[in-house]
Amino acid sequence: MMTIFFSGCVVYSFYPLYTEKDLFPNEILTGKWVDSDSTLWNFEHAYNGKENPANIDSTSYILYLKEKNKGESKFRVHIVQLSGHYFLDFYLEDFPDDDNLDLASFHIVPVHTFAKLETSGNRLKINWFNQDWLKKLIEANKIRIHHEDNGDYILLTAKPGELQKFVTKYVNSEEAFKDGIEAELKHM
């Protein structure tokens, strides 16, 4: 999964898909989930400050993603509901601390990725927007959204309001998700 994220298959954003006012308390993701590759997705609520029940942030999750025969990745995940659809905003939480900085660390820029979320009983379906689809729209002048394109990657630089208009406009577009990354999770 991590290889796919860094391969350029998803849409990257400098800003999150949400503002604080868009967040709402929920238990939609809470628990352990597994996908078809046996990757473990463990969603726990984040804490504001020390880890005690009084400090639980029920609007935010920490995702511990454990791939088979690989290490664990840690993401901050937020859910936002726009036009009757759920969307997830992923942000890589684990970055090298100051004591472990090396040249490679200076080349890691934190970005957000976002995906459509569909829920059904004890199953979740997560679809990330496809970067190739976005690139084609931009090149054909069919979309105007703040971005930077270095030839290898497109980085959206739109603020949350503009990003929200973008995702709600294309939430039902098959092309937006075709050949993109999809994860189907089953609750454990």
Can you give the pLDDT at residue 70?
Answer: 83
Can you give the pLDDT at residue 33?
Answer: 98
Q: Which amino acid would we find at residue 87?
A: F
Can you give the pLDDT at residue 102?
Answer: 67
State percent of the chain over pLDDT 70. Answer: 89
Q: What is the mean pLDDT of the chain?
A: 89
Cβ–Cβ under 8 Å, residues 186 and 180: no
Share of the chain residues as helix, strand and coil, in percent rounded to the nearest 5: 25, 40, 40
Report the DSSP beta bridge partners of residue 92: 75
Indicate the burial class of 76 (C-beta count within 10 angstroms; 0-12, 13-18, 19 or more). middle
- Half-sphere exposure in the Cβ direction for 115 (13 Å, CA): 20
Q: Is the pLDDT of residue 2 over 60?
A: no
pLDDT digits (tens, 9 = 90+) for 100-140: 666 666 667 789 999 999 999 999 999 999 999 999 999 99
pLDDT digits (tens, 9 = 90+) for 16-44: 999 999 999 999 999 999 999 899 999 99
Is this prediction's pTM over 0.85? Answer: yes
